[in-house]
Amino acid sequence: MKIAKLPGDGIGPEVVEQAVKAVNAVCARFGHEVQYSFAKVGACAIDEFGDAFPESTFRACMDSDAVLFGAVGDPRFDNDPTAKVRPEQGLLAMRKKLGLYANLRPIETFASLVDKSPLKAELVNGADFLCVRELTGGMYFGEKGRLDGGDTAFDTNIYHRYEVERILKAAFGYAMQRRKKLTVVDKANVLESSRLWRQIAQEMEPQYPEVEVEYMYVDNAAMQMIRCPKWFDVIVTENTFGDILTDEASCITGSMGLLASASIGEHTGVYEPIHGSYPQAAGKNIANPLATILSAAMMFEYAFGLMEEGAVIRKAVAASIEEGFVTEDLAPVGTPARSTSEVGDRVAEIISGI
């Protein structure tokens, strides 16, 4: 297995290091050989190469079977709307160049953590759904610019049929593997691009007679997701709506530090936590590494088809949570929080059967 490590900025390096411990423990246990390469993306790449996703990083991704990615972002750029290069461009370039059109963000709850959720336990217990976010189209990549000497700005929410078809096909496929319910989230009462999505989804429905399809406006979906998270099985939506809804969904589980994701498409897939670079915690060894460790589980499953290996990581994460071996975001009041590296070590130990 050739894995490219792209830790990125902020807490990225700390959390990716913990995921690597889990990967190594799994490979030792199952007898897989793993080879790592390393490359820079985000602010650290801007500092070294003047480019947030340099060609050498792209090559490192293309030469690997999977990319384990941390996060990008740096406060130096956040409050400077005139910055010409931004760390986030590295992530967007990576998605575009690797053709990663499908971003899978599963929402799973841990019974021992229900009290961490801002929602009532009876709403949260057993919630289990998959958000399929389109990742290389829409407003993120449509034409954008300024007019009137800078006083008018625009972003274009553009979708082509092939982009909509391939993401819907993926979503129907995941629904078939799960509880066979698909919620297509759009704003078809207002947006033309949403009407194209809805039209294509309706055309595709007969190919998947077992899948129950429902259409939901994004504003309503934002409400239903917290009113009744158990309603959902697979949600599919465009890039911008998916960005916003998955941040909302992440709080259902109690901590954003638990949410993993896989971005897959035409070339090497990228496995990453959905949280950002959390600069306030960088270098302090306090960030929760579990989202990145769970992203490594998704890597085994999606990049290598190794379901048992993925399951062993998931079980180890659940066991470390049960033991109360967690970082400060999850530590019950009155119990000591563990550091990032302690949690990483513990998960690796459990994987190794210690």
Residues forming contacts to Mn ion in the complex (CB under 5 A) are 243
Q: Phi and psi for 11 in degrees, rounded to 5? A: -80, -5
Least spacing, CB of residue 200 vs Mn ion, in Å: 25
Whole-number Å distance between alpha carbons of 160 and 197: 9
Instruction: Select 144 or 227, whichever has its Cβ closest to ligand IPM.
Output: 144
Cβ-defined contacts of 217-220 (< 8 Å, 24+): 217/185, 217/186, 217/187, 217/188, 217/189, 218/185, 218/186, 218/187, 218/245, 219/187
**Is 247 one of the catalytic residues?**
yes
Binder of residue 119, out of ligand IPM, Mn ion, none (CB less than 5 to 8 A by kind) = none
**Is 65 one of the catalytic residues?**
no
**Is 315 one of the catalytic residues?**
no
The answer to whether the CB of 74 falls within 8 A of the CB of 279 is: yes
Least spacing, CB of residue 111 vs ligand IPM, in Å: 27
Binder of residue 218, out of ligand IPM, Mn ion, none (CB less than 5 to 8 A by kind) = none
Query: Mask of contacts with ligand IPM, 87-126, x by CB under 6 A?
Result: -x--x-----------------------------------
Binder of residue 6, out of ligand IPM, Mn ion, none (CB less than 5 to 8 A by kind) = none
Q: Which of residues 202-261 bind ligand IPM (CB under 6 A)?
A: 243
**Dihedral sign from CA coordinates of 232, 175, 125, 288:** negative
Chain residue at closest Cβ approach to ligand IPM: 88
Partners of 183 in the beta sheet?
Answer: 214, 235
Binder of residue 313, out of Mn ion, ligand IPM, none (CB less than 5 to 8 A by kind) = none
**Is 78 one of the catalytic residues?**
no
What is the Cα gyration radius of the chain?
20
Percentage helix, strand, coil for the chain under 3-state DSSP, each rounded to 5: 50, 20, 30
Least spacing, CB of residue 71 vs ligand IPM, in Å: 8
**Strands in 9-134 per DSSP E:** 35-38, 66-71, 102-108, 128-134
Instruction: Select 187 or 346, whichever has its Cβ closest to ligand IPM.
Output: 187
Instruction: Select 105 or 187, whichever has its Cβ closest to Mn ion.
Output: 105
**Is 155 one of the catalytic residues?**
no
Whole-number Å distance between alpha carbons of 175 and 169: 10
Q: Which residues bind ligand IPM (CB under 6 A)?
A: 88, 91, 243, 274
